[in-house]
Structure formats: C-alpha cells, structure tokens
Structure 1
Amino acid sequence: MDAATESTTVERELVIDADPETVWEFLVDPDKATRWMGISASLDPRPGGAYRVEVIPGNVAIGEFVELDPPRRLVQTWGWEPGGAGDVAPASTRIEIELVPNGDGTTLRFRHELPTPKAAESHAHGWDHYFERLVVAARGDDPGVDPWIERPMS
C-alpha cells in the first residue's frame, strides 16, 4: 500500500463495563484520567479550555477542548509539546469521542485525525495501549502501574 492510500485516521470502538457518566469522568477529571493515561494532567473541560497531560516522562500532550456534551460527546485538539518524542505539533490534530449507552455499559467510539500515516500508526499503538487501561479503570478495577512509565510510581 502506498502512502497516498494509507490511513491518517485512528478509529476505535470499545465496550466498557461502566455507564456513560462514569466513563465521561475518566475523560475530564484529572485524577481519574491519570489512572489510565499519564503521570499528571491539567484539564479545563469547557469549550476553549486547555489541557496538558504528561503521558510518559518528557512526552506531554497538549491541546484544547472544542466541544463537550456530557456524557455523550467530546471533541478536542491534540498534539505534543515541543522537546518530546511526539511527531505531531501542539493542538494540530482532532480527536472525537462519542459515548453511547450499551445495556449496563458504554460503547466508546473514537476517531483521531492525524497528518501522516506514520503518525497514525504510532498513535494507534498508543491508543490501543491506553484504551486497555481505560476499560479496566472505568469498570472500577486497578490497571496497575503503566509499564510505559520509566520511573517507579509513588
């Protein structure tokens, strides 16, 4: 497959054993967000509000919230703070998350538009890793220390 036909979008759909209100909190509450992704998080969940998440040491995701319709839809920009290993400029890409009731749980539909197939491939790997942790955390279990963090958690 040549680069012109490779995807630049990461799309995922996962079922979480928690209601949409609970899952929503894991997207917008810094204490809950860092249970599944990141070392630290500063989140201002309102349209135009900024966020900053130190995902692993030296790699900081930054952007702003564009649209929030709790507990159904979240749209935000995404990128990496300069100086880290990230290959996407700050706030240069778009993430859309939809939470749909599914029995006693939630179906999370995720779409991340990226600039290149290479960026999409690397981000897909990361999102898969973190979504596994979100599924565990949102259902009330402990996903444990993130193995991607290179320092011990206190």
Structure 2
Amino acid sequence: MSEPMILRARVQAPVKEVRNALTDPALLRVWLAEHAEVSLPDRFAFWGRDTPEGDAPHQRLLHADDHTVRIAWTLDGVETTAELGVEEETPDSTIVTVSQTHFDHREAIEESSIRGVLQTYWCLALANLAEHFEGRDLTPRVDFTSSGLRATVTIDAAPSAVFESLIDSEAVTRWFGYPIEIEPHVGGRYAMGGLDNDPHPAKVLELEPERRLTIDWGPVGIGSWELEGSEGRTRLTMVQSGFDRPPYAAWAGNLSGLSELRRYHEVPAWQPIWLS
C-alpha cells in the first residue's frame, strides 16, 4: 500500500476548541457532514448527502485522545484509515492534520472509485472547519446524491477584482495553491501545472469581462464562473456540466478552491490556510 495522503491546515482557534469541533456531533454537522453521531471511546460516525457513500455510516472508531481521532472508513468495499490530529501553533491558532490511506490520484482522475474523492473531500472539509472558526459563511459542500454541480457564494469584492483573480495566472496560482497558467482569451489554454507540464490543457470557451468565464475541461465537462455585481460585492455562481458521470473529485477540489478565493478577497493580509 502507498504512503498515506497528508493534508495540513491552519485554523484560527485554540487547540482545545478545535479538538472539540472534531468530536462534538453538533459541530461536526456544521463543518463536516449532514449527520454525525459521536460517543467516545466507542463510536464516531458521519453520513448523509455530503459524505461519499453516505447512505449510512461506514466508519469505525479506532482511537481517540486529546490530540487525535483515528477511524476505519469503508469505501467502495475497502477499509481505509483516516486520522485527524491537532497541535497548538500559538495560543490562538491550531494546525490540523488529516492522514488518509487508500487514496490514488489515478482513481481521482479516472473517477474509477469513490475513494478518488478523498483528497479533495478532506480539503473542502478543512476549509469549512477554518471558515467556521473565522465566523464566515461556509462553502457549499458536495452533494454526492446529485448530478447537478452548482454552487453560489457572495464575495465582498467588486466583479472587476474577482474576475481578474479568475483569469490572471499569478493570482489563480496563489489562491488555488497549485501552479496554473492561463491564456486569457477565447480559445486560450488553461493549464494545470503550467503550459510546459500539461500536455492536454483545458480550453477557454467564453471570456466576458466581469461577467463570465467558461472552460472546457474535456472528460470532466464544462466549468463556468458567472458573476453578478451589486454594491461593490459579487455574486459568484460556479457550475460544472456536460459530463458523462459526475466528477465529484474535481468538483470538491473546485469548491475548496472557491473557499480560498473568497478568503483571498476578504481576509486582511490574506495567507492560505494550507501548509506544506
């Protein structure tokens, strides 16, 4: 088995409060899942529309202490292991680490197993955990029961600023946290990892300043950002369509990116929540 996938994020809250958010069922229902039941040291379960294979709880608690929760989580017939850990960074900030076994990038790209969503699923969950403690509106979660991939948020910035941050390669690379190179014109290339590293870049289909950007991603469909401005704010709607089957892994990644895009525009002296 390959090495576990590891994610690390900074949450602006004391470590005891963050640890409580990892085990309090009412708080888990805020940032993680539609349904949650926790009774330590015996039970830790979550399920619902926004959980992969969330028709019923498929978790088994393996270990819990003041800094760690470890669960077995059966997905697509395979028992994986997920571990959530907290460590104090400062009295007012906490580093949260998620370790997840049985994640394969190939399964994410091919959408060949629900386990392919695990990385972006946890990215979105951690983004919402951070937003919860910042007192911000949470980013919409993935509905794994629906093929309608659509999310709308309001950003406290003008459409001109938001649109520029969607088409400027340097800005997108900053808030998305991954090198992206964009040719900002209709027919231009949109390359994950940069034009020199992406042999099959996406294509810009529509580019209407301050109103719409549409990208053809190939097998995972067509992605669009639609902007409406009012009183210096932007209503941003993100849609994914034109696919044979819902690309949930990519959609969860887009949603976690949407969370950071909002923070990029709204948080003073913004820094990404993600740590190497």
Q: TM-score range by the shorter chain?
A: 0.7 to 0.9
1:112 Cα offset (Å): 0.6
1:36 Cα offset (Å): 1.0
Task: Structure 2 unaligned segments of length 5 or more: list them.
Answer: 108-112, 149-276
Q: TM-score under structure 2 normalisation?
A: 0.43
Structure 1 counterpart of 2:22, one-letter code: L
Q: TM-score under structure 1 normalisation?
A: 0.73
Q: Pick the aligned partner of 1:114 from 86, 102, 109.
A: 102
Distance 2:40 2:136 in 1: 24
The structure having more radius of gyration, on CA atoms, is 2
1:142 Cα offset (Å): 3.4
- SS, match of residue 137 in structure 2: coil
Q: Pick the aligned partner of 2:84 from 97, 100, 104.
A: 97
Partner of 1:131: 126
Alignment of 1:138-149 (within 5 A): 138-143=133-138, 146-149=140-143
Partner of 2:210: none
Distance 1:115 1:58 in 2: 13
Q: Cα gap change, 1:97/1:56 in structure 2, threshold over 3 Å: closer, same or farther?
A: closer
Higher relative contact order (CA 8 A, sep 6+): 1
Render the CA deviation track for 1:133-152: whole Å, top value 9, x for unaligned: 111113443315x242359x
Render the CA deviation track for 1:2-61: whole Å, top value 9, x for unaligned: xx9xx5632101110011111112211111001112211122231x42423225288325
The answer to whether the Cα contact below 8 Å between 2:71 and 2:82 also exists between their aligned partners in 1 is: yes
Task: Tell me, yes or no, if structure 1 residue 30 matches structure 2 residue 41.
Answer: no
Q: Cα gap change, 1:12/1:55 in structure 2, threshold over 3 Å: closer, same or farther?
A: farther
Partner of 1:69: 65
Q: Percent identity?
A: 14
Distance 2:128 2:16 in 1: 18
Distance 2:51 2:65 in 1: 31
Q: Cα gap change, 1:9/1:148 in structure 2, threshold over 3 Å: closer, same or farther?
A: same
Q: CA RMSD in A?
A: 2.7
Distance 2:77 2:3 in 1: 12
